[in-house]
Every structure is written in C-alpha cells, then in structure tokens.
C-alpha cells in the first residue's frame, strides 16, 4: 500500500517507490533519497514537523511540505 | 627551489575534512578569503616524505559537484580551471566510514574530471563499533584509486596518507563509470561539437553556469550544430546521472563493504530521543545557553581584572620612567589604554568561540536546527537561521555568510536583515563594563545578577531579531520556494586540536583585525583630546589659576582642574559639546557621545575611546572601570553612570547598527545598497527611541 | 632635542593611524564592488 513520506510512522521500515522529481531539490536525491532505497523515521520535531529520517544510511531532516512529494511503501517482514 | 605540489581536500560536510587538514598542516595554516568573495579559504603547508612539500587547500564541504551555493561554487571553479595557480595536482576526497555510500557520489564525480584522486576513509576507529568491515583491495580496484584508511581521532594512518599523496603520480585518472550513458545521443553530439574538451567538464558547465577559462555556457549555446536542452530536461538528466552513480556505488559496496547490523551499537538514536525531545530538547538548549553566558561573564572576569590593572600600571610606569614629552604622553594616555581596550576582551572572545566550535563539532548544532525549524518558520525564518543567529553572538559577519545554505531567498534575506540584532562579541566589552558599573553584585540561585543581566541582554537581542523577522515576513512580498534539507551528523566528541585551532584563529583575527582599528582610533582620539583651537585651550592654565586665585587649592587639585578645562576645550571636547543636546535626553554626557560616534565604525571602540578620553583628563593610576565609576554627571551631580543612564546605554547598544563591516557584508550578500541603508536607519532610530524612553522612565 | 624626537614620533604615529583607517574604510570599497558586479555575488 502506497503512502506519502509525510505519513511515515516510527518503528516501521519503508521503501521509497517514487519521487516527483520536479518538486524536490537535487540535493535530496544526492543524499540518497531515490526510489528503491529504504527509509525509516528516527524522530519527529515538536509540532510534528520537520521529520528526522534515516534514508539508506543517511540521516537527514526534511519538512513535511517536501515529504508529500515522495511516495513510500511499507516493508512487511 | 624545492618541489611543491598542490593538494585539494574535498569532501561532504561532517566527514572530518577539517580534522584531516589540521592533522596534515598543524599550525602551518592560514585562513583568508577567495579573491572578491567572502568564502573562507583555508590553506596550509605539509611536509611529505622524500622532501616533497604539499600546499594543501581545504575546500568548502559539498555533497556533490552540482553547486547550490557560493561556497560550493568555489569547489567547481577550482576543479574546472586548469590555469588556476591552486589547481590541484591531486584531489584528496575525504569520506566518513559510516556514510561511505553517500560520500562516494562526490568521489565518482571528481574521478570523471580525470584528476588524480585519492580516497581517504576517515573515522576508521568507529568501524568495529558500527559492525562495518571493508575489502580495501576490492574497493581500490573498482574505484580506480588508492585508499587511505585513517582515524584523525586516534591519529592513525596519517603517515600512510602522506606517503600516498607523495606518490600521487601512481594514481589512475580513469573515471570509474561512464556517466554519458544516461543520454547517448546528447553526449555524442556534445563530443562532436567540442572534441578537445572533457565531456564531464562540458556537462558541468552546461548544468552549472559556471565560468571556466574561455568556455562558458553561452559559448556552448552559441555553437550552431549543437542543440542544448531546456532546464527541465537538464534537471531530469541530472537525476538520471545521480541514480546511475548510486547504482554503480551500490554494486561496488555490495562486495566491498559488509555491515553487520547486529554488531552495531546505536548511541545516536538513544541520544536523539532526549536531545530532540519536545520538552527536554528545549530545556537542554536553554541550559547550554545559560552555561555559555555564565562562562563568558563569570569565569573570564578573573583574567580580565588582571589585564586591566596590568595595563593601568604599565601606563604609570611609562610616565615615571620615560623622558617627559608629547610622545610619552601619547604612549601612556593613547596607545597603552587603547591596547588595553583590545587585550582585555581576549578571555571572553576565546570562551565564546570555544563554546560555538564545540557545539558545531559535536553535531549538536544540527539538532538545534531540527528542533527550531517549525518555531522559526512562524517568524518567516528557517531552522537554519538558528545557526547564523547563534554564531551572530560571535560576530555578525561570518553569521551573515552562514546564511548561504538557507535555500529560500526570502528566508535568507530576512535572516540577513535581523542577524545584526543578536549580541555580537563586539557588544560584550560595552555590556560588561557598564553592567559592572550599574548592576549590583549579588547572586540568585548561584548565578550572579550581573550574569543574569547579560543573559537578559542576549535574550533582548534575540527577541528583537525574531520580532523584526515576523514584521518583515508580513511586509516583504517575495515569492520563493523553500527547500529544507539538513544532514543530521553523528554525535562526536569534539577534537581538542580542532577546537583549539578555531579558538586561536578567531581570537587572532579579533586582535589583529578589530585591534588595529581600535589602536588607530585611540591614537587619533588622543590627538584630538590633547590639542584644541583658540585661547580657551592655549591659555587654560592662566584662566583656571585666575579663577581660583581666592580659593585655597593644593597643586594636585589645580592641575586636575586645568586638565579637565583643557579637555573640554580641545577639538574633541568642542565636537562633543556640539552633539550633546541630541544625547542629553538619553542620560549621556558629551564624553559618552564621543564614544558613541567613534564606535560607529566598530562597537568595541567604545570602551577604548572612554579609556583614552578619561586618561587624558586625569593622571593618577586607575583602571578603566574605576575611572568610569568616578565620572560625575556635569549637570545633575552624582555619578554619571547610574542605573538609568546605564540601562539606557545598554539598550542603545543592543539595538543600534554600529558596525561598518556588517553593513559592507550585507551590501555584498544582498547585492544592493537598499538593505544595509534600511538596516542602519531603522535599527539606529529604534535604538535612540528605546534608550530615550528607558532613561526618562527610570531616572 | 628630546622634544623634537618626541614630536616627530607623535606625528609619525598619527600619520600611520590616519593612513591605516583611510585605507581600511575608504580605499577598499570600490574594489569590492567590482568583484560583485560580475557574477551577481551568487545571489538570486
């Protein structure tokens, strides 16, 4: 089941399925935010934004407004 | 002439690139600027085996060769310009063992430029801890390079790295993948149009719009038989390129790197649970700020008092022992107090930079960015504005330069405009001396009132910054898309060497940068205070003696009266008198007025100016502080520095835009005079009104 | 003699100070402008 990265839950593992490339900066792709990579939520900032993520081993924080342009799918273990 | 090679250190931020630089060069380094721009240029010399000397440049950290800021641009411009005198003979890419995958992206790009490239894998001491093992031989073969596995923390592998740099001629210059596969037709036509140029170089020039030598984007566009693409198409190709590079890297690491997750210990997650917690996070942040102010105020007071009294007795000693004359006076009344006004602030500035560099080195600063983003956005700022606002407590100039990584132009402009409100280290001298004069000694919960006042002033500065950001956000009609991507680096114990070098470097630049200005102004002030026009000044002795013929005065008192009469009628006294009506309602006398005017160039000149003016007017041995405490209000009587006039002065300095260098940097970063002029008028006008209200209300 | 030397020293140091300040605040200004015109200073 697909969802956007903005709705990611802690303690679950996800895989990135698609990114709307025109909406997100190249820098994010360069830091490993690419289809096929694993993503996990590490921490949410107060007021639920930004999100602190572990994407493919890179730890980074992005805002929700960027996260809605990235699609993810839960990995069932 | 001994042989010297150029080495460029390149790498992602947070890989310990600067530690590698420090390990190689030690104290043989200097920090300057790239010509014409304010990007910091760090270079140093390192002795390599077999008598080879290496000139090492520490380039700004970047995630890729696709520049998105001025700092990153520096990296590309150097790597593309073979004629640059710093063009590297060998590029050393520094990576961090825990983020190898991401770090290798930049590595593969640099390899494509066909520059001899060496890969440094730093933080090797953490491999076991993280359950990582590497097959170096396999990696060297597939990445077409030599690898130096080092640990700057444990000081391992540095000699081997030097050896590898010295043998740079053995390094392969073959690219490790063929990036042109992403669009064969396009790259084929590019190759046909420019057969003599390196393909990847052309690609970079097309996508970056960076000048290198004589080929720039426009000349490529101008070649008739070659069709360029639209920007959206180019962006899509850049993405394809990134994906392609990652495919290659993933393939190499699949065999070359093994991570045993069960072995990995995850301290980061546990720490982050607390440090970025919605309540604890803010409390910890606040506690750290409190500690910093306590240190700046309380701990540095001991060396400061010592420095103050040393300079006072030095002045006295010169007066006693050198032959009498004008130069002796200049020394003891102008130069020595002026120098004292510089040296006295070394302890605080060192403390301030100590804390700031520890916060940055440890990785804590990124957590603050994360924690504050949502709050700051409400005021039209970004979480990344916190870094300029905090480093603005050191100096607004590097702080304004630090806004460059804020992606949205509107957020960046607002940050630039409000940063000068934060209490920079140049305000500290003024604050400290006035606080010690007008705020009572005493303690509240172990914190002195004086330290709390200082903390309050910092909070006022910060609130002024945030408040005006809120207003600017409502007024400014700028549309800009904002992207926010922050790397959250691993927590690290700061390296002593890195912290120490930063503190030394910054303190040195304060002494020799600001210090020279303070000294020069002190000398000029002494002249203006020691000479004057007309009879009133030249005949001061007779005038005073005749005035006091009937009153019994001893010699000392008479001399004192003559000296202060002379000062009042000197050039500086006359100027001060002229501006006095404007500042009297604020509770200041003409001497403070002069100090305010002379400190327009730089705030820290204030104390030095007062020290010079007061020491011209008196000749007993006294510290700056005692002299200020002894000043009498010429109209009301009683001490000049009262609670009311003191608070008024503190508030004036909290808000006024008194720094020419900041104005210059704002002009440069916004590329317009409009913003710095607005800043000057609004901030200083506001400062005047607030100081006026404070004095009238409190007196 | 002492007085003359002292006066010369004073004039020399005042001149140095004045030159330094002029150089610092006025001389540099046009140079900076030039460097910025070319590439828009990296601003948007």
pLDDT confidence of residue B34? 67
Chain B environment of C12 (Cβ under 8 Å): none
Average pLDDT, chain B: 83
A45 conformational bin, left if phi > 0, alpha if psi -120 to 50, beta if neither: beta
Q: Mark yes or no for CB contact A25/B486 under 8 Å.
A: no
Chain C environment of B325 (Cβ under 8 Å): 2-3, 5-7
Closest C-alpha among B99, B180, B96, B174 to residue B142: B174
Q: Mark yes or no for CB contact B239/A59 under 8 Å.
A: no
Closest C-alpha among B232, B667, B133, B649 to residue B432: B649
Q: Mark yes or no for CB contact B520/C21 under 8 Å.
A: yes
Chain B closest-CA separation from residue A76 CA (Å): 19
CA angle, residues B218, B221, B225, in degrees to nearest 5 = 150
Which has more pLDDT, B158 or B536?
B158
pLDDT confidence of residue B57? 92
Q: Which residue of A has its CA nearest to B405?
A: A27
Give CA–CA dist B279/B258, Å, rounded: 38
Q: Mark yes or no for CB contact B330/C36 under 8 Å.
A: no
Size of interface B-C (CB pairs under 8 A): 75
Q: Which CATH architecture has domain B4-170?
A: 3-Layer(aba) Sandwich (3.40)
Closest C-alpha among B200, B179, B607 to residue B429: B607
Chain B closest-CA separation from residue A6 CA (Å): 14
Contacting partners of chain B (3+ CB pairs under 8 A):
A, C
Q: Mark yes or no for CB contact A28/B485 under 8 Å.
A: yes
Per cent of chain B over pLDDT 90 is 14
pLDDT digits (tens, 9 = 90+) for B645-679: 999 999 999 999 887 778 877 887 787 889 999 99
Gyration radius of chain B's alpha carbons: 30
Q: Which residue of C has its CA nearest to B73?
A: C42
Q: Which residue has the tokens 């200049």?
A: B330
Chain B closest-CA separation from residue C22 CA (Å): 10
Name A22's Cβ contacts closer than 8 Å, sequence gap at least 6: B232, B235
Which has more pLDDT, B661 or B469?
B469
Classify A69 as helix, strand or coil. coil
Give CA–CA dist C25/B598, Å, rounded: 13
> What mean pLDDT comes out for the span B485-499?
86
Low-confidence winner among A50-54, B214-218, B305-309 (lowest mean pLDDT): B214-218
Please tell me whether the peptide bond between A50 and the residue prior to it is cis, using omega within 30 degrees of 0: yes
Q: Mark yes or no for CB contact B36/C34 under 8 Å.
A: yes
Per cent of chain B over pLDDT 70 is 92
Does the beta carbon of C15 lie under 8 angstroms from any beta carbon of chain B?
Answer: no
Give CA–CA dist B529/B526, Å, rounded: 5
> Tokens in use for B264?
């990995």
**Chains B and C: 3 or more CB pairs within 8 Å of each other:** yes
Chain B environment of A25 (Cβ under 8 Å): 68, 407, 483, 485
- Could you tell me whether strands B40-47 and B53-58 are parallel, antiparallel, or unpaired per DSSP bridges? antiparallel
DSSP B358-386: HHHHHTHHHHHHHHHHHHHHTTT--GGGH
Name B557's Cβ contacts closer than 8 Å, sequence gap at least 6: none
pLDDT confidence of residue B325? 84
Give CA–CA dist A67/A6, Å, rounded: 5
pLDDT confidence of residue B294? 74
- Do residues A8 and A41 lie in contact, with contact meaning Cβ atoms separated by under 8 Å? yes
Chain C environment of B70 (Cβ under 8 Å): 41-42
Q: Mark yes or no for CB contact B484/A66 under 8 Å.
A: yes
CA distances from B561 to B492, B568, B636, B639 (A): 62, 11, 19, 18
Q: Which residue of C has its CA nearest to B526?
A: C14
pLDDT digits (tens, 9 = 90+) for B150-199: 998 888 889 999 999 988 888 888 887 777 777 878 888 877 877 777 88
Give CA–CA dist B578/B66, Å, rounded: 57
> Tokens in use for B369?
């960015």
Q: Which residue of C has its CA nearest to B211?
A: C39
Sheet with B117-122, edge to edge strand ranges: B29-33, B40-47, B53-58, B4-11, B90-96, B117-122, B146-149
> Tokens in use for B452?
């709390």
pLDDT digits (tens, 9 = 90+) for B73-83: 888 888 888 88
The total of structural domains in chain A comes to 1
Chain C closest-CA separation from residue B324 CA (Å): 8
pLDDT digits (tens, 9 = 90+) for C8-30: 888 898 898 889 888 876 665 44
Q: Which residue of B has its CA nearest to A19?
A: B239
The residue of B70, B75, B208, B326 whose CB has the most chain C CBs within 10 angstroms, and thus the best one to mutate to test that interface, is: B326
> What mean pLDDT comes out for the span B113-130?
88
Please tell me whether the peptide bond between B29 and the residue prior to it is cis, using omega within 30 degrees of 0: no
Give CA–CA dist B655/B691, Å, rounded: 9
CA distances from B348 to B48, B429, B602 (A): 38, 9, 17
Q: Mark yes or no for CB contact A45/B98 under 8 Å.
A: no
pLDDT digits (tens, 9 = 90+) for B280-294: 999 999 898 878 777
- Do residues B353 and B300 lie in contact, with contact meaning Cβ atoms separated by under 8 Å? no
Average pLDDT, chain A: 87
User: Domain segments of chain B: what residues?
Assistant: 4-170, 179-263, 280-475, 496-698
pLDDT digits (tens, 9 = 90+) for A8-54: 988 888 999 988 877 788 888 888 888 888 898 988 888 888 999 99
Give CA–CA dist A47/B51, Å, rounded: 59
**Chains A and B: 3 or more CB pairs within 8 Å of each other:** yes
CA distances from B421 to B47, B305, B416, B433, B458 (A): 45, 28, 10, 20, 9
Q: Which residue of B has its CA nearest to A61?
A: B486
Closest C-alpha among B372, B684, B680, B338 to residue B524: B338
Contacting C with CB below 8 Å, chain B residues are 35-37, 69-70, 73, 211, 323, 325-328, 330, 335, 404, 409, 480, 516-517, 519-521, 523-524, 527, 601, 660, 664, 668-671
The residue of A20, A22, A41, A59 whose CB has the most chain B CBs within 10 angstroms, and thus the best one to mutate to test that interface, is: A59
- Do residues B423 and B393 lie in contact, with contact meaning Cβ atoms separated by under 8 Å? yes
Give CA–CA dist B675/B678, Å, rounded: 5
- Do residues A13 and A41 lie in contact, with contact meaning Cβ atoms separated by under 8 Å? no
Q: Which residue of B has its CA nearest to C32?
A: B36
> Tokens in use for B507?
């303190």
Neighbours of B200 (CB within 10 A): 21
Chain B closest-CA separation from residue A27 CA (Å): 8
Does the beta carbon of C25 lie under 8 angstroms from any beta carbon of chain B?
Answer: yes
> Tokens in use for B361?
């080195």
The residue of A30, A41, A69 whose CB has the most chain B CBs within 10 angstroms, and thus the best one to mutate to test that interface, is: A30
Nearest CB partner across the interface for C36, out of B330, B601, B671: B671
Q: Mark yes or no for CB contact C17/B668 under 8 Å.
A: no
Q: What is the CATH number of the domain that holds A41?
A: 2.30.30.90
State yes or no: pLDDT of B430 exceeds 60: yes
> What mean pLDDT comes out for the span B541-546?
81
Give CA–CA dist B19/B123, Å, rounded: 10
Classify B91 as helix, strand or coil. strand
CA distances from C3 to B334, C9, C10 (A): 18, 10, 11
Q: Exposed, middle or buried: residue A7 (CB in 10 Å: 0-12, 13-18, 19+)?
A: exposed
pLDDT confidence of residue B218? 57
Taking the CA atoms of B361, B367, B373 and B375 in sequence, report the sign of the dihedral they define: negative
Q: Which residue of C has its CA nearest to B521?
A: C17
Gyration radius of chain C's alpha carbons: 19
Q: Which residue has the tokens 């100081």?
A: B691
């Amino acid at each position: 089941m697909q969802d956007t990265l903005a709705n990611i839950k802690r303690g679950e593992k996800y895989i990135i399925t698609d990114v709307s490339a025109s909406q997100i900066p190249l820098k994010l792709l360069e830091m490993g935010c690419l289809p096929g990579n694993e993503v996990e939520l590490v921490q949410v900032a107060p007021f639920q934004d930004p999100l602190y993520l572990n994407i493919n081993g890179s730890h980074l924080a992005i805002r929700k407004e960027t996260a809605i342009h990235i699609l993810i799918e839960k990995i069932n273990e | 002439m001994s042989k010297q090679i150029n080495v460029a250190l390149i790498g992602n931020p947070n890989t310990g690139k600067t530690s590698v630089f420090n390990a190689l060069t030690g104290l043989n380094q200097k920090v300057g600027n790239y010509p014409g721009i304010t990007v910091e240029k760090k270079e140093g010399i390192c002795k390599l085996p077999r008598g080879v000397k290496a000139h090492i440049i520490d380039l700004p950290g970047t995630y890729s060769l696709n520049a998105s800021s001025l700092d990153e641009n520096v990296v590309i411009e150097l790597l593309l310009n073979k004629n640059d005198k710093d063009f590297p003979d060998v590029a050393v890419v520094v990576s961090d063992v825990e983020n190898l995958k991401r770090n290798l992206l930049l590595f593969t790009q640099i390899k494509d430029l066909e520059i001899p490239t060496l890969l440094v894998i730093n933080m090797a001491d953490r491999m076991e801890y993280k359950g990582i093992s590497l097959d170096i031989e396999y990696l060297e073969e597939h990445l077409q390079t030599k690898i130096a596995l080092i640990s700057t923390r444990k000081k391992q592998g540095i000699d081997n790295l030097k050896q590898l740099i010295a043998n740079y001629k053995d390094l392969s210059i073959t690219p490790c993948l063929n990036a042109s596969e992403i669009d064969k037709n396009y790259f084929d036509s590019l190759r046909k149009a420019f057969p003599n140029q390196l393909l990847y170089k052309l690609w970079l020039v097309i996508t970056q719009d960076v000048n290198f030598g004589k080929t720039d984007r426009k000349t490529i566009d101008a070649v008739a038989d070659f069709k360029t693409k639209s920007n959206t198409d180019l962006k899509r190709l850049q993405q394809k390129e990134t994906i392609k590079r990652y495919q290659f890297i993933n393939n190499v690491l699949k065999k070359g790197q093994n991570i045993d997750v069960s072995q990995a210990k995850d301290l980061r997650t546990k720490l982050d649970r607390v440090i970025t917690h919605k309540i604890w996070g803010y409390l910890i942040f606040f506690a750290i700020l409190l500690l910093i102010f306590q240190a700046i105020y309380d701990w540095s007071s001991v060396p400061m008092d010592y420095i103050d009294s040393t300079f006072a007795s030095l002045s006295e000693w010169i007066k006693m022992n050198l032959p009498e004359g004008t130069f002796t006076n200049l020394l003891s009344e102008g130069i020595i107090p002026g120098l004292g006004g510089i040296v006295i602030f070394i302890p605080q500035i060192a403390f301030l930079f100590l804390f700031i560099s520890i916060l940055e080195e440890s990785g804590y600063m990124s957590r603050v960015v994360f924690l504050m983003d949502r709050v700051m956005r409400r005021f039209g700022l970004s979480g990344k504005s916190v870094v300029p606002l905090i480093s603005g407590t050191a100096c607004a100039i590097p702080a304004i330069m630090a806004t460059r990584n804020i992606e949205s132009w509107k957020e960046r402009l607002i940050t630039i405009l409000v940063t000068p409100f934060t209490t920079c280290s140049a305000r500290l001298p003024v604050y400290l001396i006035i606080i010690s004069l007008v705020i009572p000694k005493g303690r509240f919960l172990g914190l002195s009132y004086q330290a709390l006042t200082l903390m309050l002033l910092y909070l006022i500065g910060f609130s002024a910054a945030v408040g005006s950001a809120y207003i600017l956000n409502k007024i400014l009609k700028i549309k800009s898309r904002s992207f926010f991507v922050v790397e959250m680096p691993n927590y690290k114990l700061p390296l002593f060497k890195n912290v120490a070098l930063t503190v030394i470097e910054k303190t040195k630049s304060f002494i020799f940068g600001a210090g020279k200005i303070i000294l020069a102004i002190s000398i000029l002030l002494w002249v203006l205070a020691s000479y004057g026009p007309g009879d009133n000044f030249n005949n001061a002795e007779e005038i005073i003696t005749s005035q006091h013929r009937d009153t019994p005065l001893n010699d000392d008192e008479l001399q004192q009266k003559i000296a202060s009469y002379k000062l009042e009628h000197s050039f500086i006294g006359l100027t001060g008198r002229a501006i006095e009506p404007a500042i009297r309602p604020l509770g200041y006398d003409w001497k403070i007025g002069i100090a305010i005017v002379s400190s327009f160039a730089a705030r820290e000149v204030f104390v030095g100016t007062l020290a010079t003016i007061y020491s011209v007017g008196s000749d007993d041995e006294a510290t700056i502080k005692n002299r200020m405490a002894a000043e009498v209000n010429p109209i009301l009587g009683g001490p000049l520095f009262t609670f009311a006039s003191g608070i008024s002065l503190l508030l004036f300095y909290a808000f006024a835009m008194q720094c020419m260098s900041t104005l210059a940097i704002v002009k440069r970063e916004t590329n317009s005079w409009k913003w710095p002029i607005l800043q000057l008028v609004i901030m200083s006008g506001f400062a005047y009104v607030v100081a006026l209200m404070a004095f009238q209300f409190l007196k | 003699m002492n007085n003359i030397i002292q006066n010369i020293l004073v004039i020399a140091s005042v001149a140095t100070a004045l030159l330094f300040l002029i150089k610092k605040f006025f001389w540099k200004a046009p140079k900076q402008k030039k460097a910025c015109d070319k590439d828009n200073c990296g601003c948007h």
